[in-house]
Structure 1
């Protein structure tokens, strides 16, 4: 059995911190949480590698670097309400940081259930474009962290809801697989 505590420490020191993740709360959470618990036992040996690790058919945990950068970008704060979409590891990290987390990992992921307004929404799979229903589920000043991918390289984006609309900014490049049913829709346009 490999020393997973040493693997977690190495993951933070060699993948997370060098990627400009400066939030020490994230470092501490990622050193504590056993990432191998979120993948099948047959893939546990991959849990701390610098790769996306499939945990269910068509679903994968983001690379440690990417999930840390995405979580840092949405600036989670204790006491906030969070929605983690196809993101079991990110959900655990957010709970460790003191957020109240709902995990959506079954059924129609494009439609969050209920009328909750979330302060933070994160997704560990790539999408062609953030679904409107995810943006609608944000509270005022709520932040959505998602990787949008329509080609070889995706862009991690943070959407922020204001009183008068939603803003979007790109924060880093990433290449996770696009989740089934979330590919970009291309239409025909006259030039």
Structure 2
């Protein structure tokens, strides 16, 4: 399948070309991220059940542990995308595994506000069920954007893979051994 190229003009009038991430790569990254979130949620839930059992709270009417688990689950489910995209250069763990990242439309790294807006609108993208609105937007938009991307001014692109260098030739090894610069 021919991937579309997205051209970004920086403020310095440098033109950069990126390959936009389509529905398949974005959905695959999202599935990986959701699996990680599910493991974290299950771990917290099991930990809370053991803690409540240990403290003997099952027979009581204390809602504090349930409230704490609910707040932690919300923070994990929403904060995972928000914080990871901002603090790791636009990559969640799923995006990193698939070689895609979120960036600003001007080519810069995602900002805190953009990450907040993009992930706040994830709630709308999930409507009416099963991420249908987000899937349709990504599929039909020319730059594969969902509503969160449109509002935040972001793009999801494929990263260029750095090719590993071949083994050094004998001349290169000798140059390095002697400490000669090129």
* Band of TM-score, shorter chain: under 0.3
Higher helix share: 2
Higher strand share: 1
Relative contact order, CA 8 A, sep 6+: which one is greater? Answer: 2
TM-score by length of 1: 0.21
